[in-house]
Amino acid sequence: MTRIEALLHSHPPPADAASAAEAAAERLARAEAVATEARAAAALAQMRAEIACAEAARLRAAANDQGRALAEGEIRLASMEELNGRLRASEAFTSRLLAASRDCIEVLSLDGTVLWLSAGSAAVLEAGPDDRILGSDWRAVWPEPADRVAAELALAAARAGRTGRFRAASPTRRGALRWWDVVLTPIQGDAGVVERVLAVARDVTDAHHAEEQQILLMQELAHRVKNILAMVQAVATQTLRGATSLEEAATAFGGRLIALSHAHDILIQGSWAAADLQNVVEGAADLHGGRGPDRFLIDGPAVRLGPRSALALSLILHELATNAAKYGALSRVEGRVSVTWRIVAEASEPWLSLRWQEAGGPPVAAPTRSGFGTRLIERTLVHSLGGRASLTYPPAGVVFSLSAPLRAVQEASA
């Protein structure tokens, strides 16, 4: 039974109708008040429930936000730790890289003062613990005035935002002279203004010496080419002067150029510094029937010839062999040529004594006019070597004799 029903039945109906009606109205009013109170209580309970739900939702959202913030903070912290680890690894790698470099790497102020240098620079400069580099004037390490001017110009270019470069010699801290290829580049700040200068110097001593050697070789080559051309011109002139026809001149000139070519081959094998006398003689023999004992007898000690002597002697031996093939011993099967040489003492110094002797050929008679070989002997061997030479024509065969100081024969110039 509800509370309203209880109120309606809690009082028995009065005897008369009026009293019954009043009692019923009173009970109905009390019942409506109770109903109103119940509805208010239910509404209040519902409101409290809704507030509780809303608060629970707010607390859950706040908890979720706090969790997300905490998670994001942890992520950011892990990222920063990872970034710092990478930065430390990068710095360590850069430090090892600079230490391993064989370049001298320095940072300069705009006036040329050394502010920083890499760890490997001290080893490159052969600097000890007592050598003061930081704070020193970078331009002072270049001893030559012209090199200091070049360094100042390169520094000025870097200050102006350009790249400066020069090559100069400078000693290490232990006094060893080195050649350096130096590059200066500007280091700009945030505003684009040059604040520092990066100076990188590389040791190019070996390359510089190689370039100097190359220049020397080119100069030597030019000198030798001029001498060769002068010799070829002289051979051509003398050949044309003594020839009776163009065909004869062409044949003689071609043979003489071949003799020169063989002599050059021998000199190249000796790096143009020297040629072995036996190789020169054998080269002439190869052009005229070979060097076997049935044609050429070649005998003598090892003697080094200078380039000038090797070329001249090759031409003379070629002329002798050519004449022997035309008119002398080599024109007959039974003919022989003996080429021998010895080192003898004369005037308190060693001399080279060489002899060419023909045998087994037709009877020999002296020519009516001097030929190329005679003029070559007189103008080249005798005058250049300071010795003496003779070319005789006994009936048994031509004899050529040469005597010259060994030092002149071995002279390196050509």
CA 270 from chain center: how many Å?
A: 29
Of 372, 376, 414, nearest in space to 228 by CA: 414
* HEC-encoded secondary structure of 45-88: HHHHHHHHHHHHHHHHHHHHHHHHHHHHHHHHHHHHHHHHHHHH
CA dist list (Å): 236 to 257, 356, 368: 9, 25, 22
Q: What's this model's pTM, rounded to 2 decimal places?
A: 0.48
Q: What is the pLDDT of residues 8-59, one digit of tens each?
A: 455 555 556 777 777 777 777 777 766 677 676 677 777 777 777 777 777 7
Phi/psi class of residue 360: alpha, beta or left (left: φ > 0; alpha: ψ in -120 to 50)?
left
Res 253: pLDDT: 72
Helix axes 246-269, 277-286, angle to 10 degrees: 140
CA distance 210 to 86: 44
**388 bridge partner residues:** 403
Q: What is the pLDDT of residues 265-320, one digit of tens each?
A: 655 554 555 788 888 888 878 776 665 667 889 999 999 888 778 878 888 888 88
Within 13 Å and on the Cβ side, how many CA atoms surround 337?
31
Res 270: pLDDT: 47
CA dist list (Å): 360 to 320, 326, 364: 15, 14, 11
Instruction: Collapse the DSSP code of 254 into the 3-class scheme (helix H, G, I; strand E, B; otherwise coil) and give the result.
Output: helix
Least confident interval from 191-200, 201-210, 258-267, 379-388: 258-267
Residue 414's contacts (CB-CB under 8 Å, 6 or more residues apart) are 224, 227, 267, 272, 306, 307, 308, 311
Record the tokens describing residue 378, joined without a space: 């007189």
- The CATH code that applies to domain 104-203 is 3.30.450.20
DSSP 137: B
DSSP 379: I
**Amino acid at residue number 77:** L
Of 163, 149, 150, 151, nearest in space to 194 by CA: 163
> Structural domain boundaries of the chain?
3-97, 104-203, 209-409
- Domain made up of 209-409: CATH architecture: 2-Layer Sandwich (3.30)
The answer to whether the CB of 201 falls within 8 A of the CB of 141 is no
Mean pLDDT of the chain: 79
Instruction: Collapse the DSSP code of 1 into the 3-class scheme (helix H, G, I; strand E, B; otherwise coil) and give the result.
Output: coil
Instruction: Collapse the DSSP code of 126 into the 3-class scheme (helix H, G, I; strand E, B; otherwise coil) and give the result.
Output: coil
Q: What is the pLDDT of residues 145-202, one digit of tens each?
A: 999 999 999 999 999 999 999 999 999 988 899 999 999 999 998 888 999 999 999 9
**Amino acid at residue number 269:** Q
Q: What is the pLDDT of residues 15-29, one digit of tens each?
A: 567 777 777 777 777
Q: For the purposes of burial, counting CB atoms within 10 Å of the CB of 107, is it exposed (0-12), middle (13-18) or buried (19 or more)?
A: middle
CA distance 205 to 210: 9
